C-alpha cells in the first residue's frame, strides 16, 4: 500500500525544491504543494506538473489524489 510519505518523496524528488504536505489513508490522498516553478503557470499547468512527476503511479498505485498548488510567498491565487 502506498503511504503519504512515499508520495511526498516522489513529488519532492521530481520537483526539486518543492514542499509537500500530504495526508491520506492508502487510497485517497490530499496534497498541498508549494513550488517556486509554479510561478506564472495556470492552475491546470501546475497540476499537470505534479501529475507528470508521478507519471504512471497515478494510474496504478494512487487511486485518488487531491491537489492544491501554491507559489511560495504568493498564497494560492494563481489563475
Partner 1 sequence: MSDVQERIKQTVELNNIVLFMKGSPQFPQCGFSGRAVQLLQACGVEFASVDVLSDPEVREGIKQYSNWPTIPQLYVNGQFFGGSDIMMEMYESGELRQALQGETV
Contact set with partner 1 (CB under 8 A) = 43-44, 47-48, 51, 58-59, 64-68, 76-77, 79
Local structure of 16: helix, strand or coil = coil
Distance in Å, CB of 2 to partner 1, minimum? 15
DSSP run (H or E) holding 51: helix 43-54
Cβ-based nearer residue to partner 1, 8 or 53: 53
The cell for 78 is 494563481
Quote the CA–CA distance of 18 and 50 in Å, as a whole number. Answer: 10
Strands (E), the chain: 19-24, 28-34, 64-70
Distance in Å, CB of 65 to partner 1, minimum? 8
Cβ-based nearer residue to partner 1, 5 or 66: 66
Distance in Å, CB of 3 to partner 1, minimum? 20
Amino acid at each position: 500500500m502506498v503511504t503519504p510519505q512515499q508520495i511526498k518523496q516522489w513529488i519532492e524528488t521530481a520537483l526539486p525544491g518543492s514542499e509537500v504536505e500530504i495526508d491520506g489513508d492508502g487510497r485517497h490522498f490530499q496534497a498541498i504543494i508549494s513550488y517556486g516553478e509554479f510561478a506564472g503557470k495556470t492552475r491546470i499547468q501546475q497540476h499537470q506538473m505534479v501529475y507528470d512527476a508521478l507519471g504512471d503511479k497515478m494510474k496504478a498505485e494512487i487511486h485518488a489524489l487531491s491537489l492544491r498548488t501554491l507559489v511560495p510567498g504568493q498564497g494560492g491565487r494563481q489563475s
